[in-house]
A and B are shown apart, each in its own frame.
Chain A
């Protein structure tokens, strides 16, 4: 995609002021790093970082709980969600392939918000408009919504200073409405780094003001998508388009826990059949024995047989070694198995491990 066609967030001038290195991501020109990926990664784990996530999409979905019982688009039961709750889940195709992964927020009795990936937003919207029952309305509020994420062990102290003590009452995967430097914001205790953190949604006209107010606290530094990627990989969280897509199902990716099989949803019959027939491939995670890193597209060999491929791989700054995720044929996915990662540069041993790689995060503290 030509740079001229890329979209920019309302914070572009702020990023330029901070000498960010910008790069394309999901159709947007985004800050990849400011001072350096490792420094930003480490600062997130020890203090707090601010991420511009304005590129992600937000939809407001309106209907009664009774209407929502007819929803077949989301793998969790929207009607049963408590107001103020958040749920991770999937939109699937008829074959059970993942059209997108998202977090749903129940904003009120009759209102939900879907937070979707940037690259899949338009496709998601068209699909939802086609598949949601006529009584349910959907509005794309992405352009008028700014999303800033603050992540790190000190983030609750920093947010308390800006939004008041009420922030401390917000439980994990809960959200509420707060006044933040004079503007109304929805704040959730969610994130994608493994650390205690908050995701802030506000009118995009306040994006710069919010960005500056949060960064005014010297305990916070800006972090780019590079650090976001290494942080999420250390937690074994999937990246849409890389670890999961329409050719993979939540069962293959090991996310059965996010499927509410007591309700009907598009793709459920295919998943039940897949579970019955047995999975062909499964997502595994592995660590390298050295600092050398696997990369997307590398091959995974087990017992001298090509058994799968790497979907995400990087140096893990908190661990000091290379780590990766990938799919292997069913039967080769046992923890502790020795595998060989092959690419044009090396053939190196790795070991399948349990999730996540990083266990010292403050996520639920």
Chain B
């Protein structure tokens, strides 16, 4: 599984890239692989106020639907319309082209508890042991 460095991860398999007070969010390679062919993505409305750990998006694969949770609180600054039109991008490019949303964060101390690449790798190893 691809787990790039420089990103933070959740135990629910979201990734987050923090640049100043902006956080870009997506789902991990492990998440897209586990879901299989993704057929639909529902994103939040731009401007929506998001609480940490609340549902920020929904992804549907051929067989199931799953929620995506916000790793941080804040306001939705941008969303990636391209993955709504072409959900297969989430399978093809989970870290680059398939970002879900950018959030203007409210409290960067919330990143405490997110995992770095090594911790996330260890967590996946435990999950699949």
Given contacts A291-B87, A345-B65, contact A36 B37 (CB under 8 A): yes
Q: Within the complex, what minimum Cβ distance (angstroms) separates A347 from chain B?
A: 13
Flag whether A123 is at the interface (Cβ < 8 A): no
Q: Which residues of A contact B65 (CB under 8 A)?
A: 293, 295, 345
CB-nearest residue of chain A relative to B91? A36
Given contacts A291-B87, A293-B65, A295-B65, contact A37 B36 (CB under 8 A): yes
A37 touches B37 (CB 8 A): yes
Q: Which residues of A contact B58 (CB under 8 A)?
A: 345
**Residue of B58, B60, B87 contacting most chain A CB atoms (<10 Å):** B60
CB-nearest residue of chain A relative to B63? A226
A-facing mask of B35-53, CB < 8 A → 1, else 0?
Answer: 0110110100000000000
A226 touches B36 (CB 8 A): yes
Flag whether B127 is at the interface (Cβ < 8 A): no
A230 touches B39 (CB 8 A): no
Give how many A residues have a beta carbon under 8 Å from the other chain's beta carbons. 17
Q: Which residues of A contact B60 (CB under 8 A)?
A: 291-293, 315
Which residues, 271 to 301 on A, are CB-close (under 8 Å) to B?
290-293, 295
Q: Which residues of B contact A317 (CB under 8 A)?
A: 62
Q: Within the complex, what minimum Cβ distance (angstroms) separates B86 from chain A?
A: 11
B36 touches A315 (CB 8 A): no
Q: Which residues of B contact A230 (CB under 8 A)?
A: 62
Q: Which residues of B contact A226 (CB under 8 A)?
A: 36, 62-63
A314–B63 alpha-carbon span in the complex (Å): 6
Q: Which residues of B contact A38 (CB under 8 A)?
A: 37, 39, 62
A36-B91, A314-B62, A315-B39 known, 11 other contacts, Cβ within 8 Å: A21-B36, A33-B36, A36-B37, A38-B37, A38-B62, A226-B36, A291-B40, A293-B39, A293-B60, A293-B65, A314-B63
What would 7 A/B residue contacts be, using CB atoms closer than 8 Å? A21-B36, A37-B37, A291-B40, A291-B60, A292-B42, A293-B65, A315-B39
